[in-house]
């Protein structure tokens, strides 16, 4: 041949050659593993739409934490399901709230494990909305006060990172001021800056029993059709003091992950959400797909798209698979 075409296959000729030129790598440090904690004892209940994911009471949480640490996972994000819900989500900011209790326990068992606290009200309100309701509307500024109380109580319990997910305007600014005033100026905020009103959250809402009892979240979460709006959301959260930005969901929003990565320099988190996990598990259980291959391809795809960190229910599986590859 006279060299009129490129021989791209030269760099794909063997496993060693492919390893040498690989551009993106997954590491166990990239993962943040979600945990659902419940009150009571002796509870280890699998979420029906999320095989392998459990609602755990604190006594069962210990073995889960041991496993997470043993697998080399460095970070978990906590979601709480309280025994009692009310209109103003009191259990979200109670000193003995389930997230606060779980945080204290985890920091006692595994002080080096980074505990991210999801700061929202929807798991704690009886109407399932992420803020205070009046005449069928979610009120912005009164909700902020409760979110600040929640964030401060989570920090008091020992949370290493506060992750507000409620999409009220000004939530980062309010929480930053609240944390600083309470002496937690060293605690970073991981903002769910770009969170879409998505059907992919369905299985999570089963797990947390947090589906809104009326209406939907479209007045606060974003329209899936919008791309420029994502940059406005991210810019305002950076201006308000966010230390991390998040895009959620992940798979249908890889363009957004790339846009945010290109525009902002803070660490970027992709949330590989419950519906994304459920689809893979369901297809795998039917024997229709290669679960391991597809999961790893999706995770590396999220990093290639620009994510530094991935919140994923697949973290434990992926950590095991990464060890096999070593």
Instruction: Please identify every residue annotated as catalytic.
Output: 195, 248
Q: How far is the CB of 166 from ligand PBG (least distance, A)?
A: 6
Interface with ligand PBG (CB under 6 A), residue from 115, 120, 242, 246 = 120
- How far apart CA 94 and CA 149 sit, in angstroms, is 9
Q: How far is the CB of 70 from ligand PBG (least distance, A)?
A: 24
In terms of CB distance, is 176 or 217 closer to ligand PBG? 217
Q: What kind and span of H or E run contains 47?
A: strand 44-47
Residues 102, 57 contacting (CB under 8 angstroms): no
- How far apart CA 260 and CA 238 sit, in angstroms, is 11
- 26 lies in the binding site for ligand PBG (CB under 6 A): no
Kindly state the number of chain residues that form the binding site for ligand PBG, as judged by CB under 6 A.
11
- 118 lies in the binding site for ligand PBG (CB under 6 A): yes
Query: What would the 3-class secondary structure string for 221-265 be?
Result: CECCCCCHHHHHHHHHHHHHCCCEEEEECCHHHHHHHHHHHHHCC
Q: What is the largest CA-CA distance in the chain?
A: 76
Stretch that binds ligand PBG, among 114-122, 141-149, 260-268, 278-286 (CB under 6 A): 114-122
Residues 145, 230 contacting (CB under 8 angstroms): no
In terms of CB distance, is 203 or 306 closer to ligand PBG? 203
Interface with ligand PBG (CB under 6 A), residue from 196, 204, 244, 253 = 204
Residues 228-287 touching ligand PBG, rule: CB under 6 A, are 273-274
In terms of CB distance, is 75 or 166 closer to ligand PBG? 166
Q: How far is the CB of 249 from ligand PBG (least distance, A)?
A: 7
**Residue 101 main-chain phi, psi, to 5 deg:** -65, -45
- How far apart CA 277 and CA 55 sit, in angstroms, is 16
- How far apart CA 230 and CA 228 sit, in angstroms, is 5
Stretch that binds ligand PBG, among 5-13, 201-209, 257-265, 318-326 (CB under 6 A): 201-209
Residues 123-182 touching ligand PBG, rule: CB under 6 A, are 130, 165-166
Q: How far is the CB of 156 from ligand PBG (least distance, A)?
A: 21
Q: How far is the CB of 23 from ligand PBG (least distance, A)?
A: 28
Residues 41-100 touching ligand PBG, rule: CB under 6 A, are none
CA distances from 29 to 113, 119, 260, 308 (A): 11, 22, 21, 10
- 205 lies in the binding site for ligand PBG (CB under 6 A): yes
On the 0-12 / 13-18 / 19+ scale of CB atoms within 10 A, 213 is exposed
Stretch that binds ligand PBG, among 56-64, 99-107, 199-207, 289-297 (CB under 6 A): 199-207
Length of the chain: 326
185: Cβ–Cβ under 8 A, 6 or more apart, which residues? 179
Q: How far is the CB of 81 from ligand PBG (least distance, A)?
A: 12
287: Cβ–Cβ under 8 A, 6 or more apart, which residues? none
Q: How far is the CB of 188 from ligand PBG (least distance, A)?
A: 18
In terms of CB distance, is 184 or 192 closer to ligand PBG? 192
Binding footprint of ligand PBG on the chain (CB under 6 A) = 118, 120, 122, 130, 165-166, 201, 204-205, 273-274
């Amino acid at each position: 041949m006279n060299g009129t075409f490129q021989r791209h296959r030269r760099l794909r000729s063997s496993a060693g050659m492919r390893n040498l030129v690989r551009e993106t790598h997954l590491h166990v440090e990239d993962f943040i593993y979600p945990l659902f904690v419940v009150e009571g004892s002796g509870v280890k209940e699998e979420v029906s739409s999320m095989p392998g994911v459990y609602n755990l009471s604190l006594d069962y949480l210990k073995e889960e934490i041991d496993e997470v640490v043993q697998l080399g996972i460095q970070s978990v994000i906590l979601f709480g399901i309280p025994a009692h819900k009310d209109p103003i989500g009191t259990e979200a900011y109670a000193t003995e709230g389930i997230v606060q209790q779980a945080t204290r326990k985890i920091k006692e068992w595994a002080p080096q494990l980074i505990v991210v606290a999801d700061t929202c009200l929807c798991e704690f309100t009886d109407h399932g909305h992420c803020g205070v309701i009046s005449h069928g509307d979610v009120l912005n500024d009164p909700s902020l006060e409760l979110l600040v109380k929640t964030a401060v109580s989570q920090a008091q319990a020992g949370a290493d990172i506060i992750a507000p997910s409620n999409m009220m305007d000004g939530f980062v600014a309010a929480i930053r001021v609240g944390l600083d005033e309470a002496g937690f100026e060293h605690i970073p905020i991981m903002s769910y800056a770009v969170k879409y009103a998505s059907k992919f959250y369905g299985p999570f809402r089963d797990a947390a029993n947090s589906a809104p009892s009326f209406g939907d979240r479209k007045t606060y979460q974003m329209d899936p059709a919008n791309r420029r709006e994502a940059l406005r959301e991210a810019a305002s959260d950076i201006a308000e003091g966010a230390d991390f930005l998040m895009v959620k969901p992940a798979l249908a929003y890889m363009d957004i992950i790339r846009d945010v990565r290109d525009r902002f320099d803070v660490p970027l988190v992709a949330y590989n959400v419950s519906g994304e996990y459920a689809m893979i598990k369901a297809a795998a259980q039917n024997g229709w797909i290669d679960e391991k291959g597809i999961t790893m391809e999706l995770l590396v795809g999220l990093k290639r798209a620009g994510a530094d960190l991935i919140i994923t229910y697949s973290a434990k599986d992926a950590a095991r698979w990464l060890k096999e590859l070593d």
